[in-house]
Amino acid sequence: MRVLGIETSCDETGVAIYDDEMGLLSHELYSQVKLHADYGGVVPELASRDHVRKLVPLIQKALLDAHTSAGQIDGVAFTQGPGLVGALLVGSSVGRSLAYAWGVPAVGVHHMEGHLLAPMLDDPAPEFPFVALLVSGGHTMLVRVEGIGRYETLGESVDDAAGEAFDKTAKLLGLDYPGGPLLARLAESGEAGRFVFPRPMTDRPGLDFSFSGLKTFAANTIRDQGQDQQTRADIARAFQQAVVDTLVIKCRRALEQTGLKRLVIAGGVSANTSLREALAQLMKKSGGQVFYPRLEFCTDNGAMIAYAGLQRLKAGQHEALSAKARPRWPLESLVPV
């Protein structure tokens, strides 16, 4: 089976073609970072309009690069939610329309299921069951994964997601949007130990997260300590270390609670080098394994949607002609495959 995957949940337009025998045939991605940079964050209406402009040309290029004609596509997968409703409507409308025109089934994919399965695009792929840490600008959650569609949320953020806290703190430090990667780069020149930030919600049982207070702590430190370059770097390092330590502590608890030895990390923040190194050390000490998507598949992309959609299409799932966007969509509500 050969599937066209479409991702338009936020500010990146992703298109890919995945074949269940040949693997990933093409992968196209357009980022709207420059479009939203002047506003310091994503403007939903601008994001939707840019998806309209870029999506069809990207689909044409993906087909060309994959040496695939419309007649060779067996199904279309599109991100149905969660995300910005206008952006989701662009992908779902185009995806469902193409499927109807080509006479093939279409399926809506849960955005976070796409991230969760992104490590499956590489070899070796993690075997079920495992614990997944989904960590991005919009989500921070720990999930027990027994199989595709068989998910149990163990913990999640009660306020800001980790990626959101990264971006907001970066803005306080005077960094451009998106600030998360820039903060990580600034932290590389920071002095360890000059500032010590709290590790939120680690002094109590449970697996939920909270990063809003950590961002406020950073804001107060920046206000009190000034803005010379070294101080900014030291604050960035202290903030990043606090986030990493918090995520590691919660992952260790989740693994101990479930008794599992495999950990999957996915989402935009999974590209953070410090986090990868810390989790690699955690799993080495515990005798377990950790799996990541390759860097290009950490952020939103069409390849993960094509892969996840293929699994559901092969199971016989498909959308009606009236498929709608689902800006809010609990992961645990998905049907098992």
Binding site per annotation, positions for substrate = 134-138, 167, 180, 272
What tokens does 300 get?
């939103």
- CB-based burial, 91-122: b 16+ in 10 Å, e otherwise: bbbbbbebbeebebbbbbbbbbbbbbbbbbbe
Question: Please, where are the H alpha helices in 259-290?
Answer: 273-286
Distance (Å, rounded) from C-alpha 254 to C-alpha 205? 11
CA nearest to 301, candidates 124, 144, 156, 119: 119
Distance (Å, rounded) from C-alpha 295 to C-alpha 184? 15
Q: How far apart are the first and last CA of the chain?
A: 16
What tokens does 124 get?
């070796």
Sign of the CA dihedral 74, 80, 82, 88? positive
Is 241 within 8 Å of 274 (Cβ atoms)? yes
CA nearest to 44, candidates 87, 6, 73, 74: 87
CA nearest to 118, candidates 13, 266, 223, 241: 266
What tokens does 136 get?
């991005």
Element (H, E) at 78: strand 75-81
What tokens does 45 get?
């209406």
What tokens does 228 get?
């010379």
CA nearest to 135, candidates 154, 108, 116: 116
Residues marked as binding?
Answer: 111, 115, 134-138, 167, 180, 272, 300
